[in-house]
Amino acid sequence: MADYLPSELVITPKGGVYHLDICPEDIAHKIIVVGDQDRVELVSKFFDEVTHKSQHREFACHTGNYKGKSLSVISTGIGTDNIDIVINELDALVNIDLETRNEKSEKTVLEIVRLGTCGILQDEIPIDSFILSTHALGIDNVGHFYERNVDEKTERLALDIESKVKLPKYVKPYLTPASKILNDRLLTDDIETGITVTSSGFYGPQGRRLRLPLVENDMLDSFSDFKHDEVRIANLEMECSALFSLSSALGHQATAICLGLANRRKKQFTKNYDEKIIELIKHVLEHI
């Protein structure tokens, strides 16, 4: 019997994965993931050649070449629930034989860089900064559905965070390091670093109070005030926790670099998105 039956792994009539609706030959092994589908074209317009373009639901995919590197750019839509789909299906494209439905004996390692936007949690990080994640602190729940295996140092840091930050009582945070290999390539002098919080929503789960009262009003300040040796919590967004935890469990390399749109401490919002996102795209294309 095949390892993965149709109820578990849906394969399209043309031999691709269901939600992304792409086939193994449609993707490169270096992949930029973005939340917004309109950002896919913004990235691929810098490619020297585009060899594949597709879109199904929020998952747009362009593949091509940039200065001799084979690259794909894929939109995930918003949230860690979508990341569960994207990472499982990308892994299936390279590590499961979609014709026989059996796992391949030789595994392919993907390099995945999230090129996103985020909110800033530190006074000293200026608006419009690029923030490279050292870890993702999930306050969503996707990571809790998979067995986790993190090193002792990360576990100690996670326990320290859990003891100090203020979260609603049913939220259990989980911490996963970003890929050091990718971070060494992406880090340059002008880039900020720190732990990225991944929330399950944009408003209450990121401490935004509109008309609905929140159960924990000090959450954001408790993130900003956290310190562990030189480690700080830098930013807040909606995808990294699942991206890092699923990728590392599957043996892939993953990190994120985000443009800081809002400084939540200083209550500032950018006026420079169009120009700064292009700058970030160029940085990622050069260093991935």
Applying CB under 6 A, the residues found at the interface with ligand URA are 117-119, 202, 206, 236-238, 261-262
Within 17-104, strands assigned E span 30-34, 49-56, 59-66, 69-75, 96-97, 102-103
* 231-260 binders of ligand R1P (CB under 6 A): 237-239
The answer to whether the beta carbons of residues 255 and 288 sit under 8 Å apart is no
Q: Under rule CB under 6 A, how many of the chain's residues touch ligand R1P?
A: 10
Residue 128 or 237 with smaller CB distance to ligand R1P:
237
Among 23, 78, 150, 278, binds ligand R1P (CB under 6 A): 78
How would you label 55-90 residue by residue, b for 16+ Cβ within 10 Å and e otherwise?
eeebbbbbbbebeeeebbbbbbbbbbbbbbbbbbbb
The answer to whether the beta carbons of residues 239 and 79 sit under 8 Å apart is yes
277 binds ligand R1P (CB under 6 A): no
Residue 16 or 138 with smaller CB distance to ligand URA:
138
Q: Least distance in Å: CB of 220 to ligand R1P? A: 16
119 binds, among ligand R1P, ligand URA, none (CB under 5 to 8 A by kind): ligand URA
Among 16, 31, 32, 35, binds ligand R1P (CB under 6 A): 35
CA nearest neighbour of 174 among 195, 193, 202 = 195
The answer to whether the beta carbons of residues 14 and 23 sit under 8 Å apart is yes
Tally Cβ neighbours within 10 Å of residue 9: 17
Q: Least distance in Å: CB of 257 to ligand R1P? A: 11
The answer to whether the beta carbons of residues 138 and 80 sit under 8 Å apart is yes
Residue 91 or 237 with smaller CB distance to ligand R1P:
237
Residues that bind ligand R1P (CB under 6 A): 34-36, 78, 116-117, 202, 237-239
